[in-house]
Structure 1
Amino acid sequence: MNTSSNNDSAQEKFYPVSTGVFRVLPKSRPPFSLYMYDRHLGDFKPVSEPGKVIVSSEKERIYKACESGMVYISSKDLQACEPYLSTHLKIVLEDLADSLSAVELAPLILSSMETLIAPLFKESVKLNFERFNEAVPALIETLEQNPAILEHILGRLEREHSLTNKALATGFTGLAVCMLGRETKTDMQTLLHCAYALFLCDIGLCRLPDFVLGKEFSLTVDEQKRIKHHPILSLEILTATKAIPKPSLIAILEHHERLDGSGYPRGASGDSISWIGKLCGAVDSFVAMIMDRPGKRSMSRVNALKTLYRESSMYDPNIIYALEKVMLKD
């Protein structure tokens, strides 16, 4: 629940700060204020000041007030809080999601997921997977309750190609297909399986040299073989976590398979490809087409969808139709 102020700004709203949120906010010269509601004034009164250290005695008092639900943060300060909240997505979703609007949650969620996904591609899956893994169920629960968040996230996705940007675009676009594009409701367990597969299907590419991934001209035969091996690398890397559901692992292996058998790595076809595998394949292809890459001009959404329809023997037409509903909603 959020509360509006009676002061000079009718647009200013205040959101309750839980003990969990207070823990992750900076206490040394925070760039925002915290507030308590003053019943005598009938308005919110600051209990901390921007740029001023919150000393131990004040910290204890504010913490106890948070336990009673008496501490708030202004809507004007949400952007200043974003760098601190973005590293604790699970806390944000559990403690703030009910208070914030879809418009306010979208940048927080996108920034948080970038913070969680980038180290998986740039550093180490083994060292960084746990934080990502604990946030995914909370993310899916929040999006399932308020799928409108996805509409605001899609408009914020980066078009410049990088492994992180593509993972974010594939993940959120695919979840939008599931939650906003399909006629039938996708159950929570399937959504969770889709999330792991969509966000992580290209994780095997992190083992390839940068000069191959960023090459502006045609790949050599050897380089093509290495690229086509990445679904297997993704499977190997993620199986080692012992945390990815089996349907997600299968879909990750299948995300470059095609209905007509022309895909890789196994040349699977038709119904031998799982539905999540078909989803990942269509969305991954669409996102690759609309992203800016070295030596390759991006397509518009419309032209990318036309390409998928022309190649209808390769992709599930129901998924393409659902993708069209999401991408061309306006």
Structure 2
Amino acid sequence: MAASDKKASIADALDEQYYQINLDILESFSKYRPPLNLFRFKEDVARVLPYCKAGERLSNEQVEQLAQLVDEGLVFVSRADHPVYVKHISYQLDLVLVDKNLHETEIADIFTQALTRRLGEFFAQPVPMVFAKLWTDMMVLTEYLFHDAHRIRALSRRLHPTHNLCNHSFNCGVMGLAVHIKANAQHYEAGEVKRKFLDHLTAGLFLHDLGMTKIPAFLLEKDKPLTGDERAKVQRHTQLGYEMLAKLDLRFPEVEECVTDHHERLNGSGYPQKKQAPALGQAARLCALVDSFCAMTVKRPFAPAMEPAKAAALLAQDAAYDQELSRVLQALVMLAGKK
């Protein structure tokens, strides 16, 4: 049996219990103190045995031996350590593009943790230096989806159940991409979607509420109806977000639409400009839909969570939203409910 075939057969046999580590992943670990329990496949007894414990100090000889064993495909991590592995990879997100041993659901866990954390860091300090890290991670996501857009399905099953700015932004980003991809499945399969468009739409969906970082927290957390003045202050977030885009050098049409128009409605009932159908682009229509859906389906200070199927049905019956996109959202929710 060829060496490559041998590695593959070992990995296949152990796949349900262990991750097989490659050199890219090993090099992301602390050289002398790997953060996880590592296991070695002993070929003579055909068993996986402990190699070193998490945080255990390795000698120079062990470091060299470990690299050699990894190159031979003989080093593994227990899937029981999945939470630790997810946390480690989430800090170096591009590793999901090179680790061929992760399941799609496991990669979805990593993206969920990484992007939610990055959003939280950026919203706490919305400056270019911090944004650059979030942008890098969003581009890892679009790279991952561009090769197989259907991968968004696993992510869409990992929406946060509680409401705060970073959770809501993550949920809207994921659901917006899920609706967009399903609505344009034929174009993705035919390779007709441009990567830059996907990049910019993704940024717009995740950052649509950027201006909320400038709104006092007590208004966002208030559990009683807002006064007229308070509502006016909150509604300024679309304009504030637009102004912030220039400082971040994010003046792309898809991003601007999501930030400025996600509260506009096709029938002119929205804000801030009461735009109507002809003036609203596809990114704005998409963002408006998923923004409402994601707000309706989580518990907020002033309202309980609504069942996703009920929320999607209400939106599909509301002329304020794009009916074609609403039907796609409804179909996604029904499909998820059958899993």
**The two structures share one fold, judged by TM-score above 0.5:** yes
Shift in CA distance, 129/6, structure 1 to aligned 2, threshold 3 Å: closer
Aligned residue for 2:134? 132
For residues 1-330 of structure 1, the aligned pairs below 5 Å read: 4=10, 11-19=16-24, 21-26=25-30, 30=34, 32-35=36-39, 40=44, 46-63=50-67, 71-91=75-95, 93-96=96-99, 98-186=100-188, 187=193, 188-243=195-250, 245-312=252-319, 314-329=320-335, 330=338
Alpha-carbon offset, residue 320 of structure 1 = 0.4
After superposing the two structures, state which structure 1 stretch, 114-123 or 283-292, moved more: 114-123
Alpha-carbon offset, residue 310 of structure 1 = 3.0
After superposing the two structures, state which structure 1 stretch, 180-189 or 294-303, moved more: 180-189
Alpha-carbon offset, residue 31 of structure 1 = 5.1
SS for the counterpart of 1:257 is coil
Which amino acid letter does the alignment assign opposite residue 324 of structure 2?
N
Which amino acid letter does the alignment assign opposite residue 113 of structure 1?
L
Tell me the alpha carbon deviations over residues 29-87 of structure 1, each in whole angstroms, 9 at most, x when there is no partner: 54523345555555555543334123455335534665676654343433322221111
- State the distance in 2 between where 1:269 and 1:10 align: 53
- State the distance in 2 between where 1:38 and 1:292 align: 50
After superposing the two structures, state which structure 1 stretch, 98-107 or 74-83, moved more: 74-83
- State the distance in 1 between where 2:88 and 2:243 align: 33
For the 8 Å contact 1:2–1:99, the answer to whether it is kept is: no
After superposing the two structures, state which structure 1 stretch, 299-308 or 182-191, moved more: 182-191
- State the distance in 1 between where 2:8 and 2:143 align: 20
**Which protein is richer in helix relative to its size?**
2
- State the distance in 1 between where 2:180 and 2:238 align: 22
SS for the counterpart of 2:20 is strand
Alpha-carbon offset, residue 221 of structure 1 = 1.6
Tell me the alpha carbon deviations over residues 194-244 of structure 1, each in whole angstroms, 9 at most, x when there is no partner: 210111000110111111001111112221111111111112223211146
- State the distance in 2 between where 1:10 and 1:58 align: 25
For the 8 Å contact 1:2–1:13, the answer to whether it is kept is: no
Alpha-carbon offset, residue 168 of structure 1 = 0.9
Shift in CA distance, 16/244, structure 1 to aligned 2, threshold 3 Å: farther
- State the distance in 2 between where 1:258 and 1:269 align: 6
- State the distance in 2 between where 1:89 and 1:102 align: 14
- State the distance in 2 between where 1:56 and 1:83 align: 26
- State the distance in 2 between where 1:33 and 1:11 align: 17
Shift in CA distance, 131/10, structure 1 to aligned 2, threshold 3 Å: closer
- State the distance in 1 between where 2:171 and 2:141 align: 15
After superposing the two structures, state which structure 1 stretch, 102-111 or 196-205, moved more: 102-111
Alpha-carbon offset, residue 294 of structure 1 = 0.7
Report percent identity of matched pairs: 24
After superposing the two structures, state which structure 1 stretch, 102-111 or 41-50, moved more: 41-50
| TM-score of the superposed pair, with normalisation by structure 1 | 0.87
SS for the counterpart of 2:52 is coil
Q: Which runs of 5+ in 2 are unaligned?
A: 1-6
- State the distance in 1 between where 2:300 and 2:8 align: 42
Shift in CA distance, 311/14, structure 1 to aligned 2, threshold 3 Å: closer
- State the distance in 1 between where 2:205 and 2:297 align: 17
For the 8 Å contact 1:259–1:315, the answer to whether it is kept is: yes
Which amino acid letter does the alignment assign opposite residue 316 of structure 1?
D
- State the distance in 2 between where 1:6 and 1:269 align: 55
Which amino acid letter does the alignment assign opposite residue 103 of structure 1?
T
